[in-house]
Amino acid sequence: MKSRNLTLLLDLYELTMANGFFEEAPQKRGYFDLYFRKIPDKGGLVIYAGLAQVIQYLNELHFSESDLDYLKKLEIFSPNFLEYLRTFKFECDVWSVEEGTPVFPNEPLITVRGPLVQVQLLETMLLNIVNHESLIATKARRICMVARGRSVMEFGSRRAQGADAATYGARAAVIGGCSGTANVLSAKLFGLKPLGTMAHSWIQSFSSEKEAFMAWKKIYPHNCLLLVDTYDVLHSGVLNALEVFKQLKEEGIQSNLGIRIDSGDITYLTKQARRMLDDAGFKDATITVSNALDEDVIQNVLEEGASIDSFGVGEKLITASSDPVLSGVYKLVATQENGEIIPKIKLSNTVEKTTIPGFKNLYRLYDDDGQARGDLLTLDGEKMRHNSQLFNADPNKTYQKKKLRGLQLKPLRVQVFAKGKLVYQEPETMEIQRTSQAKLATLPAACLRLKNPDIYDVYWTRQLKELRTQMIEQYSE
């Protein structure tokens, strides 16, 4: 993808702190974790997305001459720091969960290790990317889940909050399960399927609906997905579409036939339209519906027995309008001085908001059938044994303790940058979608449901739990 310099897309305090770190302790290193605390829509999981854009951003970090001129004019940065920025070379280590993975609150999705002066600068953009794309992928997963195997086309660009939200949002929607997008730029950039039908303007621009459909047939004889609700779905739209389909049949032309309904009672109209198409011998003609759809409407119309082959979903998906924020955070969890890792904690009034200190690893625990039984956070370097005691991170769970026995540990994260060098190859977006579905299939079914899902078990090792408890005691005195 074409490079663009987003290096200054940070919050001023990151630069002022970086200046401070540079002046005070240029050698001091830090560890930051990126994680979220709450799942949108009271859901059971988040689909992690955005790593490809994180990689692109980190690969392109540099301060241009005009950036440096601008910063100099602010008169708040030391000349030596500005000189450091001029020759800035990214040197950090980055570990991340792979895109498409279902993840849970308080899991370190990304850990960045490096000079504090560098790791601090990344806060805003890493959060901006991951919070947005994971939010949309998560919403798409909900919508696609209730669509039960029917295609869901992403139609939201026109109502997205800006060009990036449209383009990266469409990619995230595909990671979450959409079959493709109407956004051609996104399709081109990310190898997605470009999909679409026609707008009402096509039909309105002709003197009749029939004329409009016939003109479409002439230009696209192999793809006749006709929008049938401009005037009257059952008394005009479907009847005119049938005329076109019959002509194509008589002419012996193989075509993808279908209709799209964009208003009215979806259940009633699709049932009636299906009957009309079937009765006329067009059992293969598909029915697509759109119009402010979300997981609730889709679930409702399918429960009512609506006859639908595919959905076009726009504004509610691309803006995640039912709960439009994933509040991921980026927190310092350790520093490193003279080779020694020193865990750090941030206390809060609530235990949930108190950070989890230390340089950690994240694992998924699988049983012999390949089913996920929970996730595990360990401190880096801890040796796990069969009789290792695990502690549920959720203090409200009745069964607090568990032995590792019988479970296999698989690391959930990969190293993405080593000393500033990219060491990870991103899979294609469609491949990410496939692996995402496979990972979802290993989770307990009760965690997948949309309403009142079970809380997935996330465990800590004894060492991690004790470290946190001891640090809370130490700092709250």
Ligand X SMILES: O=C(O)c1cccnc1
Ligand Y SMILES: O=P(O)(O)OC[C@H]1O[C@H](OP(=O)(O)OP(=O)(O)O)[C@H](O)[C@@H]1O
Ligand Z SMILES: Nc1ncnc2c1ncn2[C@@H]1O[C@H](COP(=O)(O)OP(=O)(O)OP(=O)(O)O)[C@@H](O)[C@H]1O
Cα–Cα distance, 363 to 149 (Å, whole number): 30
Contact by Cβ (8 Å): 443, 366: no
Interface residue with ligand Z, options 267, 336, 433, 461 (CB under 6 A): 267
Q: Is 315 in the site for ligand Y (CB under 6 A)?
A: yes
Q: Among ligand X, ligand Z, ligand Y, none, what binds residue 304 when CB lies within 5 to 8 Å by partner kind?
A: ligand Z
Q: Which does 159 bind (CB under 5 to 8 A by kind): ligand Z, ligand X, ligand Y, none?
A: ligand Y
Q: Binding partner of residue 196 among ligand Y, ligand X, ligand Z, none, CB under 5 to 8 Å per kind?
A: ligand X
Binder of ligand Z out of 163, 292, 342, 445 (CB under 6 A): 292
Residue from 5, 59, 247, 263 in contact with ligand Z (CB under 6 A): 263
Nearer to ligand Y, 46 or 203 (CB): 203
265 binds, options ligand Y, ligand Z, ligand X, none, Cβ within 5 to 8 A by partner type: ligand Z
Report the residue from 14, 265, 323, 380 that binds ligand Z according to the rule CB under 6 A. Answer: 265
Count the site residues for ligand Y by CB under 6 A: 15
C-beta of 173 vs 224, nearer to ligand Y: 173
CB nearer to ligand Z: pick between 41 and 426: 41
| Contact (Cβ atoms closer than 8 angstroms) between residue 464 and residue 356 | yes
N-to-C CA span, the chain: 52
Q: How many CB atoms lie within 10 A of CB 460?
A: 21
Does residue 351 interact with ligand Y by CB under 6 A? no
Residue written as token pair 């011998």:
281
Residue 190 CB, shortest distance to ligand X, in Å, is: 17
Nearer residue to ligand Z within complex by CB, 94 or 297? 297
> What is the contact surface with ligand X in residues (CB under 6 A)?
155, 182, 196-197, 260, 290, 312, 314
Core vs surface per residue 375-394: b (16+ CB within 10 A) or e: bbbbbeebeeeeebebbbbb
Which residue is nearest to ligand Z, using beta carbons?
Answer: 263
Nearer to ligand Y, 125 or 143 (CB): 143
Q: Exactly one of 155, 168, 417, 460 binds ligand Y (CB under 6 A); which one?
A: 155
CB nearer ligand X, residue 224 or residue 376: 224
Decide whether 155 or 391 has the Cβ nearer to ligand Y: 155
Asked if 161 touches ligand Y (CB under 6 A), the answer is no
Question: Is 158 an interacting residue with respect to ligand Y (CB under 6 A)?
Answer: yes
* Residue 416 is a binding residue for ligand Z (CB under 6 A): no
Scanning 22-30, 42-50, 260-268, 454-462 for contacts with ligand Z by CB under 6 A, the matching segment is 260-268
CB nearer ligand X, residue 155 or residue 311: 155
Q: Does 291 bind ligand Z (CB under 6 A)?
A: yes
Among 11, 251, 304, 337, binds ligand Z (CB under 6 A): 304
Contact call for residue 315 and ligand Z (CB under 6 A) = no
Question: Footprint of ligand Y on residues 276-305 (CB under 6 A)?
Answer: 290-293
Among 93, 98, 107, 262, binds ligand Y (CB under 6 A): 262
Q: Closest separation between CB of residue 169 and ligand Y, Å?
A: 12
* Cβ nearer to ligand Z, comparing 223 with 263: 263
Contact between 140 and ligand Y by CB under 6 A: the answer reads no
Structure tokens at 109: 């999705």
CA triplet 241, 242, 243: central angle to 5 degrees? 90
Residue closer to ligand Y, measured from CB, 197 or 355: 197
Distance CA 196, CA 181 (A): 8
Size of the site for ligand Z (CB under 6 A): 12
Verify binding: residue 321, ligand Y, rule CB under 6 A. Answer: no
Q: Which residues bind ligand Y (CB under 6 A)?
A: 155-156, 158-159, 199, 262, 290-293, 312-316
Q: Which residues bind ligand Z (CB under 6 A)?
A: 263-267, 291-293, 297, 300-301, 304
